[in-house]
A = this chain, B = another copy of it.
């Protein structure tokens, strides 16, 4: 039987973590500078990690796959009490939070898709009247954009305005 204090000792080298987590060593250094993971040092100043760093990296990768930025991931991780490594329940909570953001992105892209569908037949692309150019709107990568559906009247502008541009 092992004691909790023994199990918690940082034993993993940066190379071992990199291999197990399938990331580059430089990525681990980078994450550390960004405060996403932490390490201890051995007598020779080499990094040693606790095993739970693997779960943190897993959560980071999961968040990234969902399109969440490292800054946001860090913020979400830091909401855990004492910045503890996420357990199963934490992961459920975080992933539900991120999933909502993912849903927004999907919804935004589907609105763009619909709009383009309407604009194909029209072809006007007028900077002034085409609903493709709602200036209130923002690009898809900014992960936000419930604007088009807020202004449904604009969809009506998408008809037969091609010739008016030239």
Contacts and interface: CB of A to CB of B under 8 A. Distances in A.
Chain A interface, DSSP helix/strand/loop, else mixed: helix
Interface residues of A, number: 53
Copies in the complex: 2
A67 B125 contact: no
B127 A54 contact: yes
B119 A95 contact: yes
Contacts of A80: none
Interface of A: 20-22, 51-52, 54-55, 57-59, 61-62, 64-67, 87-89, 91-92, 95-96, 98-99, 102-103, 105-106, 109-110, 112-113, 116-117, 119-121, 123, 125-127, 130, 132-133, 135, 137, 139-141, 162, 165-166
